[in-house]
Structure 1
Amino acid sequence: MVDELSVSGIECWGHHGVFEQEKREGQPFVIDLVLGLDTRPAAASDDLRDTVDYGSLVAQVKAAVERDPVDLIETLIHRISEVCLLDSRVEWARVTVHKPNAPIDATFTDVTLTTTRTREDLS
């Protein structure tokens, strides 16, 4: 049995993108996470040590987004997925990266990429 833990709308500032201006000036990125895990042990013990500490996870994800720049959101989302799957209790992670200020010469609301990864996918 797998439950889903979600954290949505994690606001980060990153310097990712293909264009020099993106790397120099940076821009907002918004991250959504959904983790598949069994929450029954934590429910039985009522102890944070028996589940994913989503406060710590958010800090780790934010740090992963805000460190060294990459060109593609595909590379960034892989990095974030690796962070989410560090905890062995997480069976899978669905990560969405929003890049609302992507340099597109058109009116648009958002650019997103969503992936679902298991530990085996990252090996």
Structure 2
Amino acid sequence: MSDEITLTGIRAFGYHGVYAHERREGQEFIADVVLSLSTRAAAVSDDVLDTVHYGELAEQVAAILAGEPANLLETVAERIAHAALAWPIVDAVAVTLHKPSAPIEVPFGDVSVTIRRTREPA
């Protein structure tokens, strides 16, 4: 059994997309990140060093959203998952990346991609 830390609605302006106008004009992207980990040591010690500092992780996620452009949401989500798994305490992560202003020709509320990744065995 594992615990979860959830960050919802991390927003940043980025330039991801397959179309030239998306790369030129940019748009807002939103990420939700769910970490699977044990928080037992942190609960006992009451020390942020025994868990994931979610403020620092949120800054990393925002930097990825605003950072190097990618064609696909899948690529950006993978970068976020990699950053989350860099925290040694994290066993698995689910990343949902939203693109609410995607260039879709019919009315829609949101488009998102969700990926799930686990730590690779050593």
Deviation at 1:88, TM superposition (A): 0.9
1:78 aligns with 2:58: no
- Which residue in the other structure is 1:111 paired with? 111
- Which residue in the other structure is 1:90 paired with? 90
SS of structure 2 residue aligned to 1:71: coil
Which whole-Å deviations, capped at 9, do the CAs of 1:48-95 have from their partners, x for residues lacking one? 101000000000111111111010001111111000100010000000
- Which residue in the other structure is 2:40 paired with? 40
Give, as a single letter, the amino acid of the residue that structure 2 aligns with 1:26: G
- Which residue in the other structure is 1:65 paired with? 65
1:54 aligns with 2:57: no
Identity fraction in percent: 48
- Which residue in the other structure is 1:20 paired with? 20
Distance in 1 of aligned mates of 2:43 and 2:83:
24
Which whole-Å deviations, capped at 9, do the CAs of 1:17-38 have from their partners, x for residues lacking one? 0000000010010100100010
Runs of 5+ consecutive residues of structure 1 not aligned to the other structure:
none
SS of structure 2 residue aligned to 1:36: strand
Give, as a single letter, the amino acid of the residue that structure 2 aligns with 1:45: S
Once superposed, which parts of structure 1, at least 4 consecutive aligned residues long, lie more than 2 Å away? none
Runs of 5+ consecutive residues of structure 2 not aligned to the other structure:
none
Give, as a single letter, the amino acid of the residue that structure 1 aligns with 2:16: H
Tell me the number of residue pairs that the alignment of Structure 1 and Structure 2 aligns. Answer: 122
Q: What's the TM-score once normalised by structure 2's chain length? A: 0.97
- Which residue in the other structure is 1:6 paired with? 6
